[in-house]
Chain A
Amino acid sequence: MRKRVAIVGVGTTGFRPTSPDVSYRELTHEAAVRAYMDAGVEPKDIDGFVATSEDFLEGYSISDEYCNDQLGAVLKPISTVPGDFIQSLAQGVMMILSGVCRIVAVQCMSKASNMLTIPHMVGFALDPIYNRPLGLHPDFVAGMEMNRFLFETGTTLEQCAAVVVKNKRNALLNPFAAHGALLELDDVMSSEWISYPLRRLDVAPTADGAVVMVLAAEDIAKSLNDMPIWIRGIGWCSDTPSLETRDWGSAVYTRLAAEMAYKMAGIRSPRSEIDFVELSDEYSYKELQHLEDLKLCGPGEAGYLTESGATEMDGELPVNVSGGCLGVGHLFEANGGQKVLEVVLQLRGEKGKAQLPDVRTGLAHSWRGVPTTTGAVVILSND
């Protein structure tokens, strides 16, 4: 990389199950105001903007046309990435590395509470000719994948349930989280089947909230924030959308996205160089699958790591200290935003009771949810 890019400002509304008091404009605006204040900038200082949204999540077409007023981006260069926040972050990084922009703002938002027929909306992403006519609840895709993953790696249902217990407990220490709870393993193992082997408590419930971040080129980052968080590496990848021909046992997109990010960051042995991880756990087993595909442990080991407590807050590789999707809430396109936010706050030492000691490098990962095979990884450092 010719020069480095840092995150110099973050702002969020926090995440909650509903947000009836504010419109999507007001929600994003709050996050933007906080982010710009954190970075000490005003909209006029920002050269470019990237928003994140998908039409059918918002409920109107060409949703990108409504994203700019609340970011202060009127008559400014702004575009929308229908993808995950980490992909928008990548675009922001490329905008700065290209030399066109020096300061870029990146946004994402979830108003899941406004989506009344979520299974129909998510199901609308299934192939209209081969898959949709089966009329199944889209969680079936996760169920099938979980089944194959358990088969190939020998991971047990109890190990998946342990992920739920850990993450929801972690969420209780996260003031931004919407779905924290104190559960026992039995609570999870006795919750009803949704799509065997998926149980209801294996599935992350949705939440609303917005995240905005400000990126800056290396030469001005330090003047905007005493503790810029450096983007050491970023990668994203898409595997096939086809259900019939995909690799069900492993998350190839995560492996390839991580490879790209590690290469950029110059990381040879991830397990020893990454201090903590925030990854996509929209379904409990995804945490284990992604851990293995991020090469943070060997195939089949993630379940044992969890059971042994290695991924707890006080373990050797804390995973989803924020509570993950299971504890914070499933935010659709904003999942990546929540994870990057968490990594930034940990690296800055701003997490209070949930602060991890002596962290230098964190990894944030996201997956776009069923039925996609698209994921992104970003590696951040505070030095």
Chain B
Amino acid sequence: MLDETRIKASVTALSETDMRDGKVLTIKWKPKLYYAWDNGIAIGRYLQELKNGRIIAKKCNGCRRIMLPPRMFCELCWRPTDEWVYVQDTGTINTFVVSHVDWKASRIPPGQRYYTPAVIEIDGASKGMGILHMIDEIEPYEIKIGMKVKAVWKPPEERIGAITDIKYFKPL
């Protein structure tokens, strides 16, 4: 049923050089899209505590999960969450990656360390409660799933209340 000739004729393929060399007319636009997201109560507190050098979670007495990032309502029990609970800044690597490209899909220049993000299950939170962060102070390909790691914080005067107040996690 698919008409091969018609399909092949339906699209004109261009290459990068066609655009660079001006073989086709192009228009560029860089939009000014700025947002300031209200963090609300739960994430607001989370960031505030990060500034203090601590990680805070929230407990739901319905399912007894200690949840990270904290949230004002339990999405499974459908009820408001209960106590704030401080958790540790150590954890276990659930999974990780050794990335040779950056967020723009460009290759990392030679000599620069590969990025090693990981999902880290934080001690003190319920099993499986992970956060995304980076691993450092270890050769990328020596990282193993199941490794124990600890947060390395920025000095207090440099913290601003953001996830980057933790520089990275290092192996214990």
Residues of A near any B CB (own CB < 8 A): 19-27, 29, 33, 42-43, 56, 59, 68-70, 72, 74, 111, 113-117, 120-121, 124, 128-129, 132-133
Contact = CB atoms under 8 A, between A and B. Distances in A.
Contacts of B12: none
Contacts of B71: 25, 69
A59 B38 contact: no
Interface in B123-150: none
Contacts of A20: 38
Interface size class of B (residues with CB under 8 A): 20 to 34
A26 B37 contact: no
Nearest to B72: A26
A23 B73 contact: no
10 contacts: A23-B37, A23-B39, A23-B41, A23-B43, A27-B40, A59-B33, A59-B35, A72-B78, A114-B35, A116-B34
Nearest to B40: A23
A27 B71 CA distance: 13
A26 B40 contact: yes
Given A70-B75, A115-B35, A26 B42 contact: yes
B40 A69 contact: no
A21 B75 contact: no
B91 to A, nearest CB: 22
Interface in B46-81: 71-73, 75-76, 78
Given A23-B43, A42-B78, A43-B78, A111 B34 contact: no
Dominant secondary structure of chain B at its interface with chain A: loop
A21 to B, nearest CB: 7
Contacts of A22: 38, 40-41
B40 A25 contact: yes
Given A56-B33, A120-B33, A124-B31, A72 B75 contact: yes
Contact of B27 (A23, A27, A68, A128): A128
A152 to B, nearest CB: 33
B41 A21 contact: yes
Contact of A132 (B29, B35, B36): B29
Interface string B11-47: 0000000000000000101011111111111111000
Contacts of B72: 25-26, 29
Contacts of A113: 38
B36 A74 contact: no
Nearest 4 A/B pairs, CB to CB: A23-B40, A59-B35, A69-B75, A116-B34
A157 B98 CA distance: 64
Contacts of A42: 78
Interface of B: 27, 29, 31-44, 71-73, 75-76, 78
A117 B32 contact: yes
Given A59-B33, A124-B31, A128-B29, 18 more contacts: A19-B38, A21-B41, A23-B40, A23-B44, A24-B38, A25-B40, A26-B40, A26-B72, A27-B40, A68-B75, A69-B71, A70-B73, A111-B37, A113-B38, A114-B38, A117-B32, A120-B33, A121-B33
A19 B36 CA distance: 12
Nearest to A73: B75
A129 B24 CA distance: 13
Contacts of B43: 23
B35 A29 contact: no
A355 to B, nearest CB: 32
Nearest to B79: A33
Max chain A C-beta neighbours (<10 A), residue from B37, B38, B71, B76: B38
A114 B36 contact: yes
Nearest to B31: A124
Contact of A116 (B31, B35, B38): B35
A111 B38 CA distance: 9
A74 B37 contact: no
Contacts of B41: 21-23, 26
A70 B74 CA distance: 9
A116 B31 CA distance: 13
A29 to B, nearest CB: 5
A133 B75 contact: no
A115 B33 CA distance: 8
Contact of A21 (B27, B29, B38): B38
Most A CB contacts (10 A, CB to CB) among B35, B72, B76 go to B35
A23 B33 contact: no
Contact of A129 (B27, B32, B75): B27
A65 to B, nearest CB: 14
A74 B67 CA distance: 15
Contacts of B34: 116-117
Contact of A74 (B29, B33, B35, B76): B76
A116 B36 contact: yes
Contacts of B35: 59, 114-116
A20 B76 CA distance: 26
A133 B29 CA distance: 8
Contacts of A21: 38, 40-41
